[in-house]
Homo-oligomer: A and B are copies of this chain.
């Protein structure tokens, strides 16, 4: 089964679309585990609560993966999406701030399963430094450049409290990190242009409180 894949520039796909591609991928994984072989845009889109036309438009960013009149081959589409999403590669990350959030992150099942591996954990707490967690020694941040270099680390995860986020970000960039996932309640201003994704739990909670305040029936 050969499909055209006309030198598309996957870097131009909007972030919203990427996030939906991941939803499709997850739904396909699920279908795959149930042994489903074929799926239509209608059925797959229903699984992830989007319109069928949107699913098809999203896929159109990437190529042509279906067969008119038939639908999509679950395994083939799943593989293609994994490829586009970079899930066929193993990625290494370091984590700064080994508090509750950092701990939860490292233990989070889904992350390991998707091929993301911790290669370094950093904290400023003297009591934590030197401890070993899941085979990784918790280090002082001064060891960061060495670890990033030695283990070919691309990703930095920031789970420090409050304002130390910025200085950690600076140090990660200096060490050679090119993409950051930021849980710190701070808007990072990177010295160099790199990719930053932020998760702000308070912000999501506030959408709830806004809803509750104004949607009383």
A residues apposed to B, CB below 8 Å: 9-11, 13, 15, 18-19, 22-23, 26, 47-49, 84-87, 89, 91, 99-101, 103-105, 107-111, 114-116, 154-155, 161-162, 178-179, 181, 185, 187, 195, 197, 199, 201-215
Q: A187-B49, A201-B199, A208-B155 are in contact. Are A10 and B114 (CB under 8 A)?
A: no
Report chain B residues within 8 Å CB of A207: 15, 18-19, 22, 197
**Chain A contact residues, majority secondary structure:** helix
Verify A85–B210 contact, CB threshold 8 A.
yes
**What's the minimum C-beta distance from A161 to chain B, rounded to whole angstroms?**
7
Report chain B residues within 8 Å CB of A187: 23, 47-49
What's the Cα separation between A197 and B212 when bound, in Å? 12
